[in-house]
């Protein structure tokens, strides 16, 4: 069973290490370089521990740590939004077990409102996953950059149900 555990200050080093692994995986789609210490820069990392509107969650499958996600309310376009999914990953050894889809269902059940989710067009797995998970919300697809698309949609509290679209995703 999937659970979300809010990251606390005590989890800072854990989140940093997990995020580094995720950022390294994302170098398949972005041209980010390592610094002189072998670290991939993530400009907003500290804000997840100082900005009360930002939050990060560990994704647990029963007691197994299988991923993490990071949320904030700051729209890519400057308009009103409730939730922006900044980062989301299920670790490779847990993929293809429907854990990502279960996590998205839990996420939308827990946080209704206006959402923005960005993906890189070169990341075909993410593109397919996010389009499938959000299709019933009829997201507006907005080109954000040459390689990025943002899905903008609303999840209503009453729309969240056992027949959630994530049930049929990845």
CATH of residue 81: 3.40.630.30
Q: What is the tally of structural domains in the chain? A: 1
Residue for token pair 């990071």: 70
Angle at 98 between CA 92 and CA 101, to 5 degrees: 105
**pTM (2 d.p.):** 0.87
Amino acid 158: pLDDT = 60
Amino acid 167: pLDDT = 45
Give the Cα separation of 119 and 29 in Å (integer): 10
φ/ψ (deg, to 5) at 11: -95, 5
Give the Cα separation of 54 and 140 in Å (integer): 24
Q: How many helices (H) and strands (E) does the chain have?
A: 3, 7
Amino acid 24: pLDDT = 87
Q: Both ends of the chain: CA-CA distance in Å?
A: 16
Tell me the torsion sign for CA atoms 109, 115, 118, 123: positive
- Single out the residue of 49, 59, 44 nearest to residue 105, CA to CA: 59
CA 100 to chain centroid, in Å, comes to 10
Structural domain range at position 103? 2-168
pLDDT digits (tens, 9 = 90+) for 90-148: 998 888 888 999 999 999 999 999 999 999 999 999 999 999 999 999 999 999 999 99
């Amino acid at each position: 069973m999937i659970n979300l555990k809010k990251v606390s200050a005590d989890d800072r080093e854990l989140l940093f290490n997990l995020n580094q692994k995720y950022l390294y995986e994302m170098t398949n789609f972005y041209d980010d370089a390592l610094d002189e210490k072998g670290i991939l820069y993530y400009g907003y990392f500290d804000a997840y521990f100082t900005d009360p509107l930002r939050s990060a969650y560990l994704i647990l499958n029963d007691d197994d740590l299988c991923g993490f996600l990071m949320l904030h309310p700051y729209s890519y376009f400057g308009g009103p939004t409730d939730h922006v999914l900044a980062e989301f990953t299920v670790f490779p050894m847990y993929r293809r077990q429907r854990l990502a889809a279960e996590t998205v269902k839990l996420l939308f059940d827990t946080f209704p409102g206006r959402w923005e989710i960005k993906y890189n067009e070169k990341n075909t797995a993410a593109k397919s996953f996010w389009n499938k998970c959000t299709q019933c919300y009829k997201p507006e697809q907005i080109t954000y950059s040459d390689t990025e698309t943002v899905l903008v949609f609303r999840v209503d509290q009453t729309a969240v149900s056992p027949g959630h679209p994530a049930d049929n995703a990845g």
